[in-house]
Amino acid sequence: MKKTIVIGAGASGLLACISSLKQGRDVLLIEKNEKAGKKIYITGKGRCNVTNNKDISEFFDYIPRNKEFLYSSLYSFDNKMLINLLSQNGLKLKVERGNRVFPESDKASDVTKTLLKICKKYDNFSVIYNSPISDLIIENKEATGVILKNGRKYYADKVILSMGGKSYKATGSNGYGYKLLKKYSHSITKLSPGLVSLITKKDFSNLSGLTLKNVNVTLYENGKKICEKFGDLLFTHTGVSGPVILFLSLYIKENKSYSISIDFKPALDKNTLEQRLLNDFAKNSNKNVISAFDLLLPKNLARRLINESNIDISKKINQITKEERTILLNILKNFKLKIDSKGGFNEAIITMGGVDVKEINPKNMESKIIKRLHITGEMLDVYATTGGYNLQIAFSTGYAAGKE
Ligand SMILES: Cc1cc2nc3c(=O)[nH]c(=O)nc-3n(C[C@H](O)[C@H](O)[C@H](O)COP(=O)(O)OP(=O)(O)OC[C@H]3O[C@@H](n4cnc5c(N)ncnc54)[C@H](O)[C@@H]3O)c2cc1C
């Protein structure tokens, strides 16, 4: 019987096992942790946004990096096939806002349990834990096996590397897969943290924990607008985060200067907002300026923004000049913040960059440099925004590698 070795019991490795087992192969899964799915466990805040229920053709709008490479694998094992596989094996799923799919139990661990249960249905499946691999066995540019850290060797007809990226290394993915492949002449594109918070030059720690719903944030690179996003923003002890910021972080490169502009009131155009300010001012003309701002924003943010405007917070509304009103209006519609840097790999949801996809066959994830070696999931230079797309990429590329 033909034998497959899969390295890494994460999302991608487990699907690689399942599709290999379906081909009637002998499968050995090797995982360095004491159990499978440590990263799956923390996905979706412990609930695992396992995929998205949109039509698969729409997925590509959410994949900013190398989407063409993923056409074959995403169409061959799409979100509906994943949903069927999980539901037919007893995992009830539900669809939430934005078509995001979660287990009905809200437990990410149920996803791993179900995938392992499927593997264990096959007699020709075996798994070893606490077994980090240290090297590959390559003969005449063909992968024939792996070597564990303890020196043990395992041989197979096909080796699938599903060792993950470089973020949240406590889950097992510490970037070792990239180092290993570099040694065997694979090109690794620049690695950087993605879907991560942004650190601002100014200190916003007094607003830490404050979430703003439905704001519009524009990202500027060297002063030029590059993209904008509408949604929720969170102030942190070092800067800004939340869905809008995680999305924008995908566009931040090294050695460029970035700033964001927050529109706190995107539903109102400048004229309408000015009218609203004038009305609020007229009703409260004997009060301090802060009382009019408190009507528009959470109190601590209102205070901070007035401070930023350099207008005396205790100034009476009837003393506010037209120029000062314009400053306040601009702060509400176009609040500029300089970005210092991105958060690090320890808090990044994904690794941007990875194995250059030009060196990989998109149909079965086989390396074009080393035959019989397949590379899947986050190790590859592909990534998507939040919404269940990254896990689907891991599942689909894993499935493609296990086939044939
Ligand atoms: C906090 C957080 C939340 C997220 N939430 C979501 C979400 O809700 N939806 C979504 O789509 N995506 C989410 N993601 C992204 C998603 O988790 C990843 O894209 C996906 O897990 C990648 O799967 P993978 O199989 O490629 O890698 P991993 O899941 O990281 O698996 C790699 C496996 O390889 C093992 N391994 C590594 N090195 C070795 C070695 N030397 N020897 C043996 N084994 C090794 C690791 O221990 C690990 O088990 C989230 C990520 C994070 C960090």
180's enclosing H/E stretch is helix 176-183
Looking at per-residue pLDDT, the higher value among 180 and 287 belongs to: 180
Atom 46 (ligand 1): residue with closest C-alpha? 172
The residue whose CB lies within 8 Å of the most ligand 1 atoms, and thus the one to mutate among 52, 62, 163, is: 163
The residue whose CB lies within 8 Å of the most ligand 1 atoms, and thus the one to mutate among 147, 391, 396, 397, is: 391
The residue whose two tokens read 């053709």 is 57
Atom 52 (ligand 1): residue with closest C-alpha? 349
- With contact defined as beta carbons under 8 Å apart, do 210 and 239 qualify? no
Query: Measured between alpha carbons, how far is residue 162 from residues 28, 61, 80, 106, 243 in Å?
Result: 13, 25, 22, 25, 27
Atom 33 (ligand 1): residue with closest C-alpha? 8
Model confidence over 364-385: pLDDT tens digits?
A: 999 999 999 999 999 999 999 9
Distance between Cα 11 and ligand 1 center (Å): 6
pLDDT (0 to 100) of residue 282: 86
- With contact defined as beta carbons under 8 Å apart, do 93 and 101 qualify? yes
Q: Where are the domains of the chain?
A: 3-192+351-402, 197-343
Q: What is the pTM of this model?
A: 0.94
Q: Give yes or no for residue 52 CB within 6 A of ligand 1.
A: no
Atom 16 (ligand 1): residue with closest C-alpha? 391
- With contact defined as beta carbons under 8 Å apart, do 101 and 51 qualify? yes
CA angle 164, 165, 168 (to 5 degrees): 100
**Quick one: DSSP state of residue 355?**
B
**Quick one: DSSP state of residue 382?**
-
* Mean pLDDT across the chain: 96
pLDDT (0 to 100) of residue 291: 85
- With contact defined as beta carbons under 8 Å apart, do 154 and 145 qualify? yes
* Ligand 1 atom closest to Cα of residue 398: 25
Atom 47 (ligand 1): residue with closest C-alpha? 172
Give the span between the Cα atoms of 85 and 102, in whole angstroms. Answer: 14
What would the two tokens of residue 281 be? Answer: 């001012």
Can you name the CATH fold of 3-192+351-402?
Answer: FAD/NAD(P)-binding domain (3.50.50)
pLDDT (0 to 100) of residue 281: 86
Model confidence over 165-183: pLDDT tens digits?
A: 999 999 999 999 999 999 9
Q: Give yes or no for residue 239 CB within 6 A of ligand 1.
A: no
Q: Give yes or no for residue 328 CB within 6 A of ligand 1.
A: no
CA angle 293, 296, 297 (to 5 degrees): 85
Whether pLDDT at 20 is above 90: yes
What would the two tokens of residue 228 be? Answer: 């904008």
